[in-house]
C-alpha cells in the first residue's frame, strides 16, 4: 500500500501535496486560499489566527 506524498497542513491537519512553507510549517493551497478570502469580521478569521500561532521561527544552530 502506497502512502500519499505530501505534508501535513497546520491549519486543517490533513496531508496535502501542494502548499506553501512558513518557516518550518506547511499550509496547504486550500487553506491558503480560504485564509486570503476570509474577512476580519468572519469568525473563521480568529480560527486561522489561532492556528497560525503554531508557526515558529526555525531554531538557529551555531
* pTM recorded for the entire structure: 0.78
Q: How far apart are CA 57 and CA 39, in angstroms?
A: 26
Phi, psi of 26 (to 5 degrees): -120, 135
pLDDT value, residue 24: 84
pLDDT value, residue 26: 93
Q: In tens digits, what is the pLDDT along the chain, a chain of 62 residues?
A: 555 578 999 999 999 999 999 888 999 999 999 999 999 999 999 999 999 988 876 566 76
Helical H segments across 1-62, by residue range: 29-37, 43-52
Q: Is 28 exposed, middle or buried (0-12, 13-18, 19+ CB in 10 A)?
A: buried
43: left (phi over 0), alpha (psi -120 to 50) or beta: alpha
Amino acid at each position: 500500500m502506497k502512502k500519499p506524498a505530501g505534508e501535513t497542513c497546520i491549519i486543517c491537519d490533513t496531508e496535502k501535496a501542494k502548499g506553501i512553507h512558513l518557516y518550518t510549517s506547511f499550509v496547504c493551497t486550500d487553506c491558503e486560499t480560504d485564509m486570503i478570502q476570509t474577512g476580519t469580521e468572519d469568525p473563521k478569521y480568529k480560527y486561522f489566527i489561532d492556528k497560525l500561532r503554531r508557526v515558529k521561527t526555525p531554531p538557529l544552530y551555531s
